[in-house]
Amino acid sequence: MEDGVAILKVGPALTFALRECLFSMESMEQELFSNRVGVRLSGLSAALERAMLANPAHWRSHYTGATEDELRLARRFSFSDRCRYYWTVPSVSTAVRMLIANLEQVDIPLTLVSQFLPSHYPAVRDGRLRARPMTLVRESVRRVLEQYSIAARGG
C-alpha cells in the first residue's frame, strides 16, 4: 500500500469466516444433540449443499474438479466462498436459525469450543467471550474486520 490505495475484497472473507464458524457450530450441535430424543438437528451443511446443487449458477464457473468429491469440497470449503450467495435461500436460513436455537438451549462446553473453534478458546476460557452461538459468530466476523482495519491503516 505504498501509494496509499488498497483494494480490499472484504465480502468473501467475512462470509468465509461466517461459514467456518457455522460449520464448526454444526459439529458442536451434532456432538451435543445427535443422541437426544426429540431434538431435530439443523442439517445446515446438507441444506447448503442441496441449495448449491439446485442452483449452480453462483459456483459452477468458479470451481473446477476432476471428480464430484473435489467439487463438493470446493463448494463447502473454498476460500472464494461461493456459498455466500446461498445464505438467503429459505431452507438454508431456516437451518441457520435452527442451529442457533439448538445451541441456545445449552451451555456449550469449553471442550467443544476448544475442539471446533480453537481460536476462540482462550477468550472463552478466560471469560472475555461467552460461548453463546451469536457471540461466537460475531467474534469470527469481528476478527476478519479487525484484520482489514489494520491493513487499511497500513499496519
Contact 117/72 with Cβ under 8 angstroms? no
**Number of other CB atoms surrounding residue 62 within 10 Å:** 12
What confidence tens digit (pLDDT) does each residue in 113-131 have?
999 999 999 999 999 999 9
**Number of other CB atoms surrounding residue 68 within 10 Å:** 8
The C-alpha atoms of residue 114 and residue 96 are separated, in whole angstroms, by 22
What confidence tens digit (pLDDT) does each residue in 52-103 have?
999 999 998 988 888 999 999 999 998 888 999 999 999 999 999 999 999 9
Closest CA to 30 of 40, 15, 18: 40
And the C-alpha cell for 39?
431434538
pTM over 0.85: yes
Question: Using CB atoms within 10 A of its CB, is residue 136 exposed (0-12), middle (13-18) or buried (19+)?
Answer: buried
Q: In the structure, what pLDDT confidence band is assigned to residue 7 with cuts at 50, 70 and 90?
A: very low
CATH 2.40.10.120 correct for 10-153: no
Q: In the structure, what pLDDT confidence band is assigned to residue 8 with cuts at 50, 70 and 90?
A: low
pLDDT of residue 155: 61
pLDDT of residue 67: 93
Mean pLDDT of the chain: 91
What confidence tens digit (pLDDT) does each residue in 128-150 have?
999 999 999 999 999 988 887 88
